[in-house]
Amino acid sequence: MNDNTQSLPKRRIFPPQSAEELLVRCGNLAGKTLGQIATELGVSVPDDLKRHKGWVGNLLEIALGADAGNKAQPDFVALGIEMKTLPLNAQGLPKESTYVCTVSLQQTGEMTWQASWVRRKLAQVLWVPVEAENTIPLAERYIGQAWLWQPTIEQDLVLQHDWEELMDRVVLGQQDELTAKEGEYLQIRPKAAHSRVLAKGVSRVGLTEKINPKGFYLRTVFTKQLLERG
DNA sequence: CTATGATCATGA
DNA sequence: TCATGATCATAG
């Protein structure tokens, strides 16, 4: 009755017990192609990412044993580590900005940088560089050596400055007017299935109104620095 | 709808 | 050419 000829059984990977174990797993992935990793995991490779934009990230989460699922927690819950793929262009530089989290002024206690969602997300990040030039077939793209990062004091200060300036405007009800051109390292851009999606926000009068949801993103000028410094 | 994972597709 | 604004898939 069972037909296993179409795909291999999916291998189950347990969460790493420590950051060291996680980094060892990353070392084993470095130098492999997405196709090799997908085959080992019994995952099929789409033709391209147009309708599978999160495929690479999801594949690497499975390969490394991330256990947060789609919950609002770090990918490696017990370790407090968030994983981000870093798409690289032909020059080996970041090709796209990095999504961090949605812009929201819910939850009291999240109105300071220290307690902000952005800072918690970026407290400890495992960056996994991946070739992303679309001239390279998806399955043939190589994974680079991942590294664990925590913001330096200097980086944290710039991020805090950006966050505070952007959030000031959000609180004033100017979220709809915010443009991606603002912010040195952090920027605010649309984040939704499409532009007709509406979420609750705050108008300039302090009233609730429907607005297009937006998210925080790290500019490539920032992730480029992370690549250089390791 | 919001959360997760991001990249696509144009205009400047 | 490349950053901004728009969009894609899926689970709950």
User: What are the residue boundaries of the structural domains of chain A, listed by start?
Assistant: 19-229
Separation in Å: B9 C1' and A53 CA: 14
Separation in Å: B10 C1' and A202 CA: 30
Q: Is the CB of A193 under 7 A from strand C?
A: yes
pLDDT grade for A188, boundaries at 50, 70 and 90: very high
Q: Is the CB of A195 under 7 A from strand C?
A: yes
Contacts (Cβ under 8 Å, ≥6 apart) of A96:
A87, A132, A220
Q: Is the CB of A199 under 7 A from strand B?
A: yes
What does the pLDDT read at residue A108?
53
Contacts (Cβ under 8 Å, ≥6 apart) of A229:
none
pLDDT grade for A6, boundaries at 50, 70 and 90: very low
- Give the mean model confidence (pLDDT) for residues A129-141: 98
Q: Class of A19-229 per CATH?
A: alpha beta
Quick one: DSSP state of residue A178? Answer: -
Mean pLDDT of the residues in chain A = 92
List chain B nucleotides near protein: any atom < 7 Å from a Cβ: 1-9
What does the pLDDT read at residue A110?
65
Separation in Å: C8 C1' and A190 CA: 14
H helices present in chain A, as ranges? 19-29, 34-41, 55-64, 117-122, 153-171, 220-229
Quick one: DSSP state of residue A184? Answer: S
Taking the alpha carbons at both ends of chain A, their separation in whole angstroms is 51
Q: Is the CB of A71 under 7 A from strand C?
A: no
pLDDT surpassing 60 at residue A27? yes
Q: Which residues pair with A201 in a beta bridge?
A: A209
Q: What is the pTM of this model?
A: 0.94
